[in-house]
Chains A and B, each alone.
Chain A
Amino acid sequence: MTGSDPAPYRQAMLDEWYPVGLVSQLDRAGRHTALMGEPIVVAGDADGRPIVTGGNGRILPVKVRYGHVWSSVGAPTKDIFPIPEADQPGRRFVDVGVVRVRCSPLRAVENFLDIAHFPFVHTDVLGAEPHTEVLNYTAEIRPDVDEVWATQVKFYQPQASKSASGGITTEYMYRVPAPTCSVLYKTCPPRPSEWDVITLFVQPLAEDRCDVWPWMALFDDETSMTDLIHFQQMIFLQDRSILENQIPRLLPLDPGMEIPTRADLTSIAYRRWLKRHNFTYGAQLVAR
């Protein structure tokens, strides 16, 4: 099947795992969706186990992790990336639900890695003028785990989370363990020694269309589950109109197409990592 793929540049990303549905919403009728251009159906069998069926009726690989069903149109050789915090007692796991966006799955991830837009897009929540400066931080491709990491990212936030009662300088760490997935570690005010975990799992429907599945593992015993879901949906929906109006819709990997600054170090590392692995489904390689 993969050998006859008409677009060989997709190959490198074919064998990756992608989120395709919420475990909590599996049903017999199934979710009719797509993965990298191929129509798929994500259903639960009589015992509630997920079954993912591809375009010509072939059964696709399937895993259940982090509240989601994961699948692949290729033949994954690795397991899904680990999130050790997902096994930590005392955390609450939040299925935020799906939001569709007309943009490249890679643009959706890159926006998640960006902090400089907070004052303009998430005004009075994740950022506010005049606190617009992005202080120096570190971004790297870690060779031991082959992941993009950004650390010591600090930003002033008027309302960093649903439970926040005033402005604080929040510290972030970002991690990209898979081409369309990112994990954010964020200051956790109730437990200063721990990090809250907020993820963005992106299902590539096509090169210019994706379903985004945010998920969280938080230390917060006070806020209701619905309020936690709504806070994250609010944040992502503020981003959606940006993502749908970037030109081109695909992520440009040609360095001449866009101008990064020091504030964009995470994005620069992410683009470099994508190129290195030929993860170019949803990318534009040459300016046109």
Chain B
Amino acid sequence: MKLYDYILSPSCYKVRLMAALAGATLDLRAVDFHPGGEHRGPELLSLNPGGSIPILVDGDLILTESAAILVYLAAKAAPEWLGRASAEDAAREQQWLSFSGRLTTSLGGARLHEMLLRPGDLAALQAAGIAALRELEAGLVEQRLRGRNFLVSDRPTVADIACFPYVALAPDGGVSLDPYPAIRLWSRALRALPGFIEMPGIHRLHELKPEPNLEQSEV
């Protein structure tokens, strides 16, 4: 499986993260998104006329929507990441996978504007991002009251991975995460999963490692 990837893209990171958690191996092909704009060049447009990344190519199959890529990776390598134990779970999973598109547009748009100077109405993007964060917070509170720590069930699924990156990187676009305690706990639970990998802007949870015994002049 070949992933057309960009280190700073939260959507590409979703795919790398899912693969890491599922134990799947990806062949990464770096795309010069910034400053080169390679995603709008002839080679990539022939794979994805929509001009976006990530793009996953597996034999004859070309996927250009990150939610679909997550589902594909999970179905192939780690079906326990699909939340389909009941009709309700399947619907919740689809609900949050679709919802993740709103996070991309709003929080992702604010981030691209603030960080990489892409055009956009910053105030409108931030307001839409805050509205989405409030919905996610309320959803997580309700799940916790049902005894479930994640968006679909009591274990993480593709829905959590689809929503996590743009949420965790909201401050890059000038949107604070301070007002959302349930999101903070959920984010921490995801970051503490075995096999979790970071992307720039998401720091290592150093508390998971014991304090090293430091000795002087060890170098």
Contacts and interface: CB of A to CB of B under 8 A. Distances in A.
B35 A241 contact: no
Contacts of B200: 233-238, 240
B138 interface: no
Contact of A241 (B6, B34, B36, B172): B172
Contact of B216 (A98, A133, A238): A133
A129 B215 CA distance: 11
A100 B38 contact: no
Identify the 5 closest CB pairs spanning chains A and B, nearest first.
A97-B35, A237-B200, A130-B212, A226-B32, A123-B204
Interface stretch (B83-91, B113-121, B187-195): B113-121
Contacts of A60: none
Given A129-B209, A130-B212, A133-B216, A102 B174 contact: yes
Contacts of A241: 171-172, 201, 203
A100 B114 contact: yes
Contacts of B131: none
Given A99-B116, A129-B209, A123 B203 contact: yes
Nearest to B29: A226
Interface in B68-125: 114-117
B185 interface: no
B214 interface: yes
Contacts of B24: none
Interface in B168-192: 171-172, 174
B139 to A, nearest CB: 26
Contact of B219 (A97, A131, A224): A131
B57 interface: no
B8 A233 contact: yes
Main secondary structure on A side of the interface with B? mixed
B217 interface: yes
Interface string A23-49: 011000000000000000000000000
Contacts of B212: 129-130, 132
Nearest to A22: B35
Given A156-B219, A226-B31, A100 B7 contact: no
A238 B198 CA distance: 10
Interface of A: 22, 24-25, 95-100, 102, 120-121, 123-124, 129-133, 135, 154-156, 169, 211, 224-227, 229-230, 233-238, 240-241, 244
A249 B8 CA distance: 24
A31 to B, nearest CB: 9
26 contacts: A25-B35, A95-B35, A96-B35, A97-B116, A98-B116, A98-B117, A100-B114, A120-B203, A129-B212, A132-B214, A133-B214, A133-B217, A133-B219, A135-B217, A169-B219, A211-B117, A229-B32, A229-B35, A233-B8, A234-B7, A235-B200, A237-B8, A238-B200, A238-B203, A240-B115, A240-B201
Given A24-B35, A234-B200, 11 more contacts: A25-B35, A99-B116, A123-B204, A131-B219, A133-B214, A227-B30, A229-B36, A230-B6, A234-B8, A237-B115, A237-B200
Nearest to A124: B204
A226 B219 contact: no
A211 B32 CA distance: 19
A20 to B, nearest CB: 13
Nearest to A230: B7
Nearest to B38: A226
A109 B9 CA distance: 25
Nearest to A238: B200
Contacts of B115: 99-100, 237, 240
B213 interface: yes
Contacts of A97: 34-35, 116
B171 to A, nearest CB: 7
A238 B172 CA distance: 11
A31 B209 CA distance: 45
Contacts of B209: 129
Considering residues B36, B200, B213, which has the most beta carbons from chain A within 10 angstroms of its beta carbon? B200
Contacts of A98: 35, 116-117
Contacts of A229: 32, 35-36
B127 to A, nearest CB: 19
A100 B8 CA distance: 14
